[in-house]
């Protein structure tokens, strides 16, 4: 086991030598790369990375350029988890056989995928990896929409969001179904660690990523990734949106250890009304018409109920 990188504060963190490069083709203000940087900079160990088809993938490995300073693979939309699990299996095999070129390293195997590639098309592959116990970390860059293909709904798209395949219109308020609860589904696999993170809370993120790297077995991370293009806000406001997401408790930050022990890791001092979170985004603009205002109330009730549920689970230690 390698020594964990010591990151006491942001100044110390800023001495990290990035292994993700600029001049990628992600939108200005994209939260994906902020998350990727926080994850990669959480360790000094070598990394083997994979990405599912999606914004991160198509914007960081467009021939003849790569933005990755660690080994990286993309196969398809659904299988970044299994791709890196295959690499991890090879690592185990070569370690047993004494054929690793640099046997003294402690590589971390990390798969990145969007919510579409995780909640929808890649769901089975991730579940398989979690069940089999590979020593990998799967990170969802959750922007609640198929952003790469122009904003189609996924099963992560929340109620009332206008997506291109669940658009708001004269007789529709947009997406009708509630977001799939991936965290508890993944935790139900009995994996050693599952956590929800947000890039604005970098220290919480780094702590959770380091915890994930330290445990043996599969780790699931759901990272909220405010999308300037599809959530429709100014690129400069990405971190403001992340603040609203965590402080309105729409994206509560918590972890589930061994599939059971739930810990809330961030309690906002001043909880922001959900309405403020919704109002900051174009995708919810139509909810502010009189006929749909009841949906905002329902949103708040849902968020409150979820927060109460998380707190009850935390107290009950189940």
Tally of CB atoms within 10 A around 36: 29
Find the shortest distance in angstroms from Cβ 61 to other proteins: 4
Minimum distance from CB of 318 to other proteins (Å)?
Answer: 28
Least distance in angstroms from the C-beta of 189 to other proteins: 12
Residue pointed to by tokens 């949103």: 299
Instruction: Check: CB of residue 204 under 8 Å from CB of residue 5.
Output: no
Q: What's the per-residue H, E or C state across 2-49?
A: CCCCCCCCHHHHCCCCCCECCCCCCCCCCHHHHHHHHHHCCCCCCEEE
Closest CA to 118 of 57, 62, 67: 57
CB of 162 to other proteins, least distance (A): 24
- 98 or 170, CB closer to other proteins? 98
- Distances in whole angstroms, Cα of residue 18 to Cα of each of 36, 69, 115: 10, 8, 25
User: Which one, 173 or 233, has the nearer CB to other proteins?
Assistant: 233
The nearer residue to other proteins, 207 or 302, going by C-beta atoms, is 207
Q: CA-CA distance, 292 to 298, in Å (whole number)?
A: 10
Q: How far is the CB of 139 from other proteins (least distance, A)?
A: 16
Residue 97 has, within 13 A of its CA and on its CB side, a CA count of 9
Specify the residue, 109 or 173, whose C-beta has the smaller distance to other proteins: 109
Q: Residue 317: how many CB atoms within 10 A of its CB? A: 9
Considering the complex, state which of residue 93 and residue 305 has its C-beta at the smaller distance from other proteins: 93
Smaller CB distance to other proteins: residue 32 or 179?
Answer: 32
> By the 8 A CB rule, do 236 and 29 touch?
yes
Query: What DSSP character marks residue 236?
Result: G
Whole-number minimum distance, CB 217 to other proteins, in Å? 15
């Amino acid at each position: 086991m390698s020594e964990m990188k010591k990151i006491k504060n942001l100044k110390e963190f800023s001495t990290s030598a990035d292994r993700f490069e600029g001049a990628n083709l992600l939108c200005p203000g994209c939260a994906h790369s902020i998350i990727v940087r926080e994850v990669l900079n959480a360790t000094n160990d070598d990394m083997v990375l994979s990405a599912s088809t999606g914004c991160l993938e198509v914007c960081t490995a467009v021939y003849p350029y790569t933005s990755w300073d660690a080994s990286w693979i993309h196969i398809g939309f659904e299988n970044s988890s299994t791709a890196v699990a295959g690499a991890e299996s090879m690592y185990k095999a070569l370690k047993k056989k004494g054929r690793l070129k640099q046997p003294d390293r402690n590589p971390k195997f990390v798969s990145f995928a969007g919510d579409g590639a995780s909640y929808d098309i890649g769901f089975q592959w991730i579940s398989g990896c979690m069940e089999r116990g590979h020593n990998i970390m799967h990170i969802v860059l959750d922007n609640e929409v198929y952003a790469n293909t122009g904003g189609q709904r996924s099963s992560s798209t929340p109620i009332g969001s206008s997506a291109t395949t669940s658009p708001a219109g004269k007789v529709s308020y947009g997406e009708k179904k509630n977001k799939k609860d991936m965290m508890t589904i993944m935790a139900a696999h009995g994996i050693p660690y599952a956590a929800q993170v947000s890039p604005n809370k970098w220290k919480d993120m780094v702590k959770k990523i380091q915890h994930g790297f330290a445990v043996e077995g599969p780790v699931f991370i759901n990272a909220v990734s405010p999308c300037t293009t599809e959530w429709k806000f100014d690129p400069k406001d990405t971190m403001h949106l992340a603040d609203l997401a965590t402080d309105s408790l729409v994206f509560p930050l918590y972890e589930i250890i061994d599939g059971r022990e739930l810990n809330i890791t961030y309690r906002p001092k001043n909880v922001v009304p959900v309405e403020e979170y919704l109002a900051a985004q174009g995708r919810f603009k139509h909810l502010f018409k009189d006929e749909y205002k009841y949906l905002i109330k329902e949103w708040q009730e849902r968020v409150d109920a979820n927060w109460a549920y998380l707190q009850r689970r935390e107290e009950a230690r189940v």
